Amino acid sequence: MVAGSLGVGSVQAQTTVLPSGKVMEVQAADGTAGAGKAAASRMTAAQGQGIAQLRRFATRTPAATGTFVQTQLAGGGRGGAARSSGSFAFARPGNFRWEIDKPDPQLIVTDGKKLYFYDEGLRQVTVREASEAIQATPAAVLFGVGDLDEAFKLSEVGQYNGVAWVEAVPRSADSGFDRIRIGMRDGLPVVMEVVDAFGQINRFEFSKLATNERIPAERFHFKVPAGVDVLE
């Protein structure tokens, strides 16, 4: 989303949360449109419901921890899917940790001042100013502290299987992605899909979400390991 792994859902029809990552442009797993149209017809308009849940989460959840599974697909959902999994934590304002455990260990962590992207396999750390790296990114939708409406145009998509969907389109033309869809249930995000300008889709499914946790400040600090290249 922020760098590398968090940069940008899935269009596979088998998910129980939403029949397709592309919502109203859905396709079945075999590439036909029929299943997608049927699934889309089961969507119900939940006006105000998804946006209200997202805003409450952004303003009333100071901290949380959880796990995620990311599925990355080629444009339009065709081609092989790449999957990764790991854990995350955030504490507003500005503290964020996103750690990929499988298949290739990577870490994105910030204390609100500097953001570190550590690729363990490459033995390389990229350092950036946190405000520049997170502003108007998919990470900002769920974990940021700014005004959502200032950075994104929010709209209701509908409700499916108890999940209320919101679409967030960045107001900045150079955001690096086309749109985000967030699925909210019981006031918590359960899935997020990010579509870039080339149609590539990343799907993040969240689980074991624990809110308002007391998270040690050390989890958001990063010490550069010995022998690692630093890029600034």
Q: Specify the pLDDT at position 154.
A: 93
Sort 20 into a burial class: Cβ within 10 Å, 0-12 / 13-18 / 19+: buried
Query: ω before 93 within 30° of 0 (cis)?
Result: yes
More confident of the two residues 132 and 85: 85
Confidence grade of residue 35 (pLDDT, cut at 50, 70, 90): very low
**pLDDT surpasses 80 at 132:** no
Query: Tokens 């940008």, residue?
Result: 8
167-211 pLDDT, tens digit per residue, is 999 887 777 788 999 999 999 999 999 988 888 889 999 999 999
Q: Specify the pLDDT at position 43.
A: 54
The pLDDT of 104-118, averaged and rounded, is 92
CATH for the 49-224 domain, from 3.40.50.720, 2.50.20.10, 2.60.40.10, 2.40.50.100:
2.50.20.10
Q: Specify the pLDDT at position 71.
A: 93
Query: Tokens 């396999």, residue?
Result: 121
Q: Specify the pLDDT at position 167.
A: 94
More confident of the two residues 90 and 31: 90
Query: Tokens 């109203």, residue?
Result: 24
Q: Specify the pLDDT at position 1.
A: 46
Least confident of 27-31, 74-78, 122-126, 204-208: 27-31
pTM: 0.77
Give residue limits of the domains in the chain. 49-224
The pLDDT of 78-101, averaged and rounded, is 86
Best CA proximity match to 206, nearest among 70, 57, 25: 70
Element housing 52 (H / E): helix 49-60
Q: Specify the pLDDT at position 133.
A: 66
**pLDDT surpasses 90 at 126:** yes
185 contacts 162 by C-beta, under 8 angstroms: yes
Q: Specify the pLDDT at position 181.
A: 93
